């Protein structure tokens, strides 16, 4: 498992929550203190840590969604927030021919990562070449040539200056994935910036990856920001994740810098290399099964609440729209319908004519504009909307008053239909049948 110490610290936090019978306010606070300690030990910026735990506390202690216990909600919120801290986006390498330039300070792992990248693409069927542009250190080019030999990948090294070597290679290697190694320095000084800029001009790279060792922790933020400002980077590769407790700090700091972590190095060998996926990482710590169950439950809790509200005829224009929108995606409205006694949502969905979704799409767009032009109080209580408001809303949304009226009518009909507590008849003769007609669906069932 990667991220040994950071990962096991977080895992312990989850274990502790799972082990509690009932979670109350005191337990939440105690566990959040544990989480703070773990994060700070991993060199996550203290301000970030406190912001995160504050946000978790506020969410969790405010209101627990119906159908979930505080414990479940707490675990789910922990999961969401930790994933958010580590970077929501999954790191990825595009599998295509491209030019990649690796930049970074001395000893960060650039040359090693060149080899890892070469193997990654080669294993996936692309042709690969390496370019040895580190003329700064005597043995640097030889190190890359050795890697090339080991991986059976061609290494370009003709030329004196880094930009000449890069230029020669760029002319010869027309296709495939071409990976350019570069020289580091102790710091990103003017000389290094100039050298990398010149290389960038002749290479015109598709990707410029900054290589950062995990053990610098939260200093990764400053480094990523500086390199981005002076050289321009498209992503970060964090190396040496295997040997440090500060991995969490470097991941969180990179996220704050605005860069994405694309890959992580987890050892010295050429195949110690992984795509970075914060969701998968945190899921593994909790246990995939546990998490899947919780996420499902959280979704259900939301749907159940909406269903209840809708059946009582209490729902806002926004909720109405959301439900219709998910109907389009064959999503949660069918679930909502399923929960209404006597309405077999699944059956109804199957009876929809195949062009139903097409017909609706244009209308949904229009309705969205209309709803956006309403005030909050109008959205919460559409009954407020009478003639002069209709004119205003139509103007504001670039639609006709008849469009606004149609939306209001549909809202009213759904509301009425749902109030007539669930009889399947509603679908055949009731308001929903009328609504169906409006959508151009004709009679249903």
Ligand X SMILES: Nc1nc2c(ncn2[C@@H]2O[C@H](COP(=O)(O)OP(=O)(O)O)[C@@H](O)[C@H]2O)c(=O)[nH]1
107 interface partner picked from Mg ion, ligand X, none, CB below 5 to 8 A per type: ligand X
401 interface partner picked from Mg ion, ligand X, none, CB below 5 to 8 A per type: none
Separation between Cα atoms, residue 143 and residue 149, nearest integer Å = 10
Could you tell me if 184 and 211 are in contact, meaning their C-beta atoms sit under 8 angstroms apart?
Answer: no
Footprint on residues 84-143 left by Mg ion (CB under 5 A): 110-111, 140
Alpha carbon 180 to chain centroid distance? Answer: 29
106 interface partner picked from Mg ion, ligand X, none, CB below 5 to 8 A per type: ligand X
161 φψ region: left (φ > 0), alpha (ψ -120 to 50), beta (else) = beta
Contacts of 364 (CB under 8 A, 6+ apart): 324, 325, 328
Q: Which stretch binds ligand X (CB under 6 A): 75-83, 122-130, 164-172, 261-269?
A: 261-269
- CB 360 → Mg ion: shortest distance, Å? 57
Tokens 């692309």, located at residue: 126
Element (H, E) at 177: strand 177-181
Is position 182 an interface residue for Mg ion (rule: CB under 5 A)?
no
The residue count of the chain comes to 445
Closer by beta carbon to Mg ion, 140 or else 348: 140
Could you tell me if 182 and 199 are in contact, meaning their C-beta atoms sit under 8 angstroms apart?
Answer: yes
Footprint on residues 155-194 left by ligand X (CB under 6 A): 184
- End-to-end Cα separation, the chain, in angstroms: 54
Q: Are strands 207-213 and 177-181 parallel, antiparallel or unpaired?
A: unpaired
Is position 246 an interface residue for ligand X (rule: CB under 6 A)?
no
Q: Which stretch binds ligand X (CB under 6 A): 99-107, 247-255, 282-290, 346-354?
A: 99-107
- CB 162 → ligand X: shortest distance, Å? 14
Residue 13's Cβ-side half-sphere holds a number of Cα atoms within 13 Å equal to: 27
Is position 89 an interface residue for ligand X (rule: CB under 6 A)?
no
Q: Which stretch binds ligand X (CB under 6 A): 87-95, 162-170, 240-248, 437-445?
A: 240-248
Is position 268 an interface residue for ligand X (rule: CB under 6 A)?
yes
Separation between Cα atoms, residue 124 and residue 176, nearest integer Å = 12
Closer by beta carbon to ligand X, 81 or else 157: 157
- CB 399 → ligand X: shortest distance, Å? 57
How many beta carbons lie within 10 A of that of residue 301, not counting itself? 18
268 interface partner picked from Mg ion, ligand X, none, CB below 5 to 8 A per type: ligand X
- CB 262 → Mg ion: shortest distance, Å? 19
In the set 65, 67, 84, 107, which binds ligand X (CB under 6 A)?
107
How many beta carbons lie within 10 A of that of residue 46, not counting itself? 12
Is position 112 an interface residue for ligand X (rule: CB under 6 A)?
yes
Q: Which two tokens stand for residue 395?
A: 């103007």
Tokens 């650039």, located at residue: 110
- CB 173 → Mg ion: shortest distance, Å? 20
How many residues at the interface with Mg ion, by CB under 5 A? Answer: 3
Using CB positions, name the residue nearest to Mg ion.
111
**What is the contact surface with ligand X in residues (CB under 6 A)?**
104, 106-112, 184, 211, 239-240, 242-243, 265-268, 272
Which residues lie near Mg ion (CB under 5 A)?
110-111, 140
């Amino acid at each position: 498992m990667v991220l040994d110490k950071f990962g096991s610290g977080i895992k312990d936090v989850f274990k502790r929550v799972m082990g509690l019978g009932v979670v109350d306010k005191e337990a939440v606070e105690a566990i959040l203190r544990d989480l703070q300690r773990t994060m700070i030990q991993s060199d996550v910026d203290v301000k970030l840590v406190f912001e995160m735990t504050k946000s978790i506390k506020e969410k969790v202690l405010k209101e627990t969604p119906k159908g979930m216990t505080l414990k479940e909600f707490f675990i789910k919120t922990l999961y969401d927030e930790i994933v958010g801290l580590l970077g929501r986006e999954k790191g990825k390498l595009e599998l295509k021919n491209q030019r990649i330039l690796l930049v970074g300070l001395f000893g960060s792992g650039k040359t090693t990562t060149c080899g890892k990248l070469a193997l990654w693409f080669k294993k996936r069927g692309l042709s690969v070449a390496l370019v040895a542009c580190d003329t700064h250190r005597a043995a640097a080019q030889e190190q890359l040539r050795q890697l090339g030999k080991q991986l059976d990948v061609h290494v370009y090294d003709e030329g004196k200056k880094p930009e000449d070597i890069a230029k020669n290679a760029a002319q010869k290697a027309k296709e495939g994935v071409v990976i350019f190694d570069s020289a580091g320095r102790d710091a990103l000084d003017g000389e290094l910036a100039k050298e990398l800029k010149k290389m960038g001009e002749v290479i015109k790279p598709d990707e410029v990856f900054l290589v950062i060792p995990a053990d610098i922790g939260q200093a990764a933020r400053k480094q990523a920001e500086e390199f981005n400002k002076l050289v321009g980077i498209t992503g970060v590769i964090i190396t040496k994740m295997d040997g440090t407790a500060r991995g969490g700090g470097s991941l969180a700091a990179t996220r704050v810098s605005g860069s994405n972590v694309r890959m992580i190095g987890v050892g010295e060998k050429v195949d110690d290399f992984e795509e970075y996926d914060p969701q998968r990482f945190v899921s593994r710590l909790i246990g995939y099964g546990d998490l899947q169950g919780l996420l499902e439950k959280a979704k259900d809790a939301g749907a159940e609440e909406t269903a209840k509200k809708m059946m009582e005829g209490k729902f806002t224009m926004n909720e109405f729209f959301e439900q219709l929108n998910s109907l389009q995606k064959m999503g949660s409205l069918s679930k909502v319908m399923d929960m209404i006694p006597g309405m077999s949502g699944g059956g109804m969905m199957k009876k929809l004519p195949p062009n139903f979704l097409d017909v609706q799409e244009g209308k949904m767009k229009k309705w969205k504009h209309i709803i956006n032009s309403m005030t909050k109080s109008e959205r919460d209580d559409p009954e407020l909307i009478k003639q002069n408001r209709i004119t205003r809303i139509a103007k504001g949304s670039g639609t006709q008053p008849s469009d606004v009226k149609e939306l209001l009518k549909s809202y009213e009909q759904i509301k009425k239909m749902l109030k007539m507590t669930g009889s399947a008849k509603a679908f055949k003769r009731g308001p929903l049948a009328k609504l169906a007609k409006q959508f151009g669906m004709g009679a249903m069932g």
